[in-house]
Structure 1
Amino acid sequence: MEQQIARLRNPGIGERLDDLGELALFKHFIVVTSTTGTRSIPLDGLDVRFETGQINHSIYLTEATGRVHRAKYPHLLPAMDDQQKFDEDAVRDFAVAIQNAVADENTFRARLPTQLKKVEKELEDARVDTRAQEAARKRLAQVRQRNRQDPQRKAADVALDEALKDWETLTGRIPPA
């Protein structure tokens, strides 16, 4: 339950869902890899927009802070360079996948306080409910008491001591415990 609470409080980046060009979509973040470096953008509150232009298809990501990132996808047209080209439908589908992941993340975040309270309550109840531990302690005390009162115990202890002495005589040392 403690691990579940930790995962709820900090779910991390999540599993990889999809990628296209410089964007990699994960369950809780989208990772942008560009010539300037790698950046993770949380999906929570992200606005995603698709636009097509004369040269590039574009996906605009507007963070909850208002910061905007534009991912460019050159059209599938004959070109002189060996730059990767993208089909409009593929870029649109990827934008929709991001929008759906954002919707899922927003739902996850909206339910998070309730889930946290529920799991924290279950953990508290489990810590308070020590009936199983108490029953095990009681049973252990009964077994120990019975063993102390066992009439064959003294004979077994004497036999063990003799066996240990025989072992030491044969090997020159006492056997490991």
Structure 2
Amino acid sequence: MDAVQLVVVVVVGLGLWVLWRRHRFPGGWAFAFSLKYESDREALASARQRAREVSRRAAETESAALVGFTSAQTAYERRLRQLEQQIARLRNPGTGERLGGLGELVLFRHVLMVTSRAGERSIELAGLDARFDTGKTNHSIYLTEATGRVHRAKYPHLLPAPDDQQRFDEEAVRDFTVAIQNAVADENSFRARIPQQLAKAEEALQDARADTRAQKAARDRLAQVRQRNRQDPHRKAADSKLEEALQDWESLTGRMPPT
């Protein structure tokens, strides 16, 4: 910054300070700057500062109490949301994570997806029976649903390949069948536990909804802080002193200064 720029900054800064001082101590140049009225300005400034300090402390205590109430309310709502989501997952677990796939079958934690020329459909793992078989041209996985409906997934193995079909090793098909069987066992166990887990989660949700003690305590605390701030004798005294200083300045200058 060169000398000219520095002078401009100083002049602008000084001008702004003069305007601020005229605003804070209205009535004319003498009332804003003359040593004759310095004690009057100090009395007004002191009253302003004291009122601001008391008001700031009151705002800080109320803000802390409000944060406590908001936190209690947020924690309450978060607990309800977690339990509601848990219940929703138990009632409808969805497909779950992908565990593997082979040919037209894709195995997920809770379902088996089948993709064929007819489209895509899902088979529930609960109660499913999976069986491996082999023949002259195809390995097969037979899937018997709990309803009795049967689906056969074919895995060609004839060599040399007469066309561009993918060929499948017998061990790979057997291993995938075992993976399905294990997933079915896990799903059956999971489904058997659902009624007890669901009842427990629903009971926990009911208890959580009824437990508003933390919210009530935080709300009462906020109300107490607000009432104490309204009735605070220090705040009333500071406000009264400021009002007196403002009126004294108006009597002196004929202008009411800002608070």
Identity score, percent: 74
After the TM superposition, list the runs of 4 or more consecutive aligned residues in structure 1 that deviate by more than 2 angstroms. 150-156
Give the whole-Å Cα distance in 2 for the aligned partners of 1:80 and 1:148. 92
- SS of the residue aligned with 2:154? strand
Determine if the alignment matches structure 1 residue 90 to structure 2 residue 172: yes
Give the whole-Å Cα distance in 1 for the aligned partners of 2:149 and 2:127. 12
Q: Which residue of structure 1 lines up, in the alignment, with residue 235 of structure 2? A: 152
Q: CA deviation at 1:127?
A: 1.5
Does the 8 Å contact 1:76/1:87 carry over to 2?
no
Q: CA deviation at 1:131?
A: 1.3
Structure 1 or 2: larger helix share? 2
Give the whole-Å Cα distance in 2 for the aligned partners of 1:142 and 1:78. 87
Does the 8 Å contact 2:130/2:144 carry over to 1?
yes
TM-score (norm 1): 0.84
Structure 1 or 2: larger strand share? 1
Letter in 2 for 1:7: R
Determine if the alignment matches structure 1 residue 114 to structure 2 residue 196: yes
Letter in 1 for 2:235: Q
- SS of the residue aligned with 1:152? helix
Give the whole-Å Cα distance in 1 for the aligned partners of 2:96 and 2:184. 13
Please list the CA deviations of residues 38-79 of structure 1 after superposition, one character each: whole Å capped at 9, or x if unmatched.
Answer: 111100100100001111000000011111000000116221
- Return the match for 1:7 from 89, 92, 96: 89
Does the 8 Å contact 2:138/2:158 carry over to 1?
no
Higher relative contact order (Cα pairs below 8 Å, separated by 6+ residues): 2
Size of the aligned set, in residue pairs, is 159
Q: CA deviation at 1:155?
A: 2.9
- 1:52-131 to 2 correspondence within 5 Å? 52-75=134-157, 77-131=159-213
Q: CA deviation at 1:152?
A: 2.2
Does the 8 Å contact 2:161/2:167 carry over to 1?
no
User: RMSD in angstroms over aligned alpha carbons?
Assistant: 1.9
Deviates more, 1:57-66 or 1:142-151: 142-151
Deviates more, 1:76-85 or 1:86-95: 76-85
Does the 8 Å contact 2:139/2:173 carry over to 1?
yes
Give the whole-Å Cα distance in 2 for the aligned partners of 1:29 and 1:143. 56
